[in-house]
């Protein structure tokens, strides 16, 4: 069974805060969240589950957080949803204290 992580590209996005000229402040933030397989050597796959190429700079999260992160890729969830939910449940049972801090 493959192992998954949740990843997102880093994108520049405007915030609601304004700078001195009255323009929105641009900040680095995660873009759409995707699922990606990782190998035994913790190496990320070259493409996300949905087939979109992996960017050079991405943020990684555990699959336990898949339901908390938005916006997420519906195609990734459709392809790997049941396997990801099983992995997330397994991770939560192995380390329940990680979710208790939320």
What are the start-end ranges of the H helices in the chain? 74-94, 97-100
Nearest residue to 26 (alpha-carbon basis) of 42, 48, 10, 9? 10
Find tokens 């949905």 and name the residue.
50
- Can you give the pLDDT at residue 101? 40
Whether the Cβ atoms of residue 60 and residue 19 lie closer than 8 Å to each other: no
19-70: pLDDT as tens digits = 888 888 888 888 899 999 988 888 888 899 999 888 876 788 888 888 788 8
On the question of pLDDT at 95 being above 80, the answer is no
Look up residue 75 and give its two tokens: 């195609």
**71-82 average pLDDT score:** 89
- Domain ranges for the chain, please list them: 3-16+23-96
């Amino acid at each position: 069974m493959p192992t998954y992580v949740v990843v997102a590209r880093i994108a520049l996005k405007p915030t609601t805060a304004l700078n001195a000229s009255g323009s929105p402040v641009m900040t680095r933030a995660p873009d759409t969240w995707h699922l990606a397989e990782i190998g035994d050597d913790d190496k990320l796959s070259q493409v996300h589950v949905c087939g979109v190429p992996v960017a050079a700079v991405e943020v990684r999260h555990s699959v336990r957080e898949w339901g908390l992160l938005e916006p997420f890729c519906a195609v990734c969830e459709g392809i790997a949803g049941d396997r990801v939910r099983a992995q997330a449940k397994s991770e939560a049972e192995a380390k329940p204290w990680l979710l208790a801090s939320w």
